Structure 1
Amino acid sequence: MIYCNWCIWKNRNLLKFEGRGKAAKVLVKEVELLVEEFRSGNTKEKLPVVVRTQAWRPPREGWYKANVDGAVFKETNSCGVGVVIRNDQGQIMGAMSKRLNLPLGAVEVEAKAFEEGLRLAGDLGLNQVILEGDAQSITNALMGKSLPPSSIQRLIAGASRWKQWVQVWSASYVRRDGNGAAHVMAQNAKSISDCVVWVEDTPPMIQCQVHRDVLMLNQVSV
């Protein structure tokens, strides 16, 4: 409506002061062009949303990767730890869901997951293990890149003794979408009373996830 009034007012002034005006059809066309120009200038172009995902990556040959994760179950005042250990071909060496009847916080249970992951790798007789989780503050602390949160300082300080289980190990960070199998195993701990371990067998609750990880691994290597 504002563009129509403006065109009429402008045409009236032309007619009054300059003795010339525009035909009604011309005015209508001008209004349509102004409206279209306004709409074009105020319409935000919707760019496609790019969602970046991080797939599971195998360790180098001769190494094993232990993906770990923790979960807090506030309603039962307990928490869970999930561990999935695979070789450089993506094959399951061992997996674990463990429930801890302790009121640990998110950071504490994540740190505990790293300890439990390496302990399981040692029980399986594996050497040269990469501990991988989606808690970057913990991986940085384990590798000496930063100071640990105060609540897990004692656990991190004791990590030097983890060599009693696995002589050669390191830690690395991965985003949650690259740690999916361990996440499921941690959540599964909510439904058990103590600890369940799988040796060279894929837990049914992560079969699809592990299969998907291997498929993506093959696509990358092609």
Structure 2
Amino acid sequence: MDNSRPLEKWTKLPVGWCKLNVNGAFAEADGTGAAGMILRNHHGVVIFASCRFLPRCSSALEAEIAACMEGVSLTLEWSYDPFIRETDSTTAVAMITDATVNRSPVASLVEETKRLLGLGREHGIAHVRRDGNQVSH
């Protein structure tokens, strides 16, 4: 019996919306990380794609939240459209959508992401399975 799930694919957005996919990576061996992000319009056309090396990183969660923060910041610069941010980290989604002040080791990144999202741009946030977020890897 085959228990595999079908791959998750990019879903089309409402006209006028953009989709921001973000992902973080962490190398425990040397304490470094990376952040990747891509913004596409409702047709799937790339508006920007970016990646960044994180020379000091303490966890996979820190890399993921750093990718979220930078992706939102770049989205606000590159587009005036409302956007949906997708990540494969349920923890990142929960931290950024939580209305209370974050007190975790990644609090400064979480709170800056919340500040950026609070600047008035219509947005959404969603969890997507890892196979549906390959483009930001």
The TM-score range, normalised by the shorter chain, is: 0.7 to 0.9
Alignment correspondent of 1:204: none
Alignment correspondent of 1:199: none
Q: Which of the residues 72, 90, 104 maps onto 1:136?
A: 90
| Structure with greater contact order relative to length (CA < 8 Å, sep ≥ 6) | 2
Which deviates the most, 77-86 or 67-76? 67-76
Asked if 1:162 is matched to 2:133, the reply is no
Instruction: Supply the AA of the counterpart residue of 2:63.
Output: V
Asked if 1:59 is matched to 2:13, the reply is yes
Asked if 1:69 is matched to 2:23, the reply is yes
1:106–1:166 CA distance, 2 compared to 1 (3 A): farther
Shift of residue 147, structure 1, vs aligned partner? 8.5
Partners in 2 of 1:111 and 1:157 — Cα distance? 10
Output the TM-score relative to the length of structure 1.
Answer: 0.55
Structure number with greater Rg is 1
Q: Give the length in aligned residue pairs.
A: 137
Output the TM-score relative to the length of structure 2.
Answer: 0.84
Q: Residues 1-222 of structure 1 correspond to what in structure 2 (within 5 A)?
A: 47-144=1-98, 150-163=104-117, 167-183=121-137
Q: Compare the two structures and name the one with the higher strand fraction.
A: 2
SS at match of 1:118: helix
- Identify unmatched segments of 5+ residues in structure 2: none
Instruction: Supply the AA of the counterpart residue of 1:63.
Output: W
Q: Is the 8 A contact 1:67 1:131 kept in 2?
A: yes
Q: Is the 8 A contact 1:67 1:84 kept in 2?
A: yes
- Identify unmatched segments of 5+ residues in structure 1: 1-46, 184-222
Shift of residue 51, structure 1, vs aligned partner? 2.6
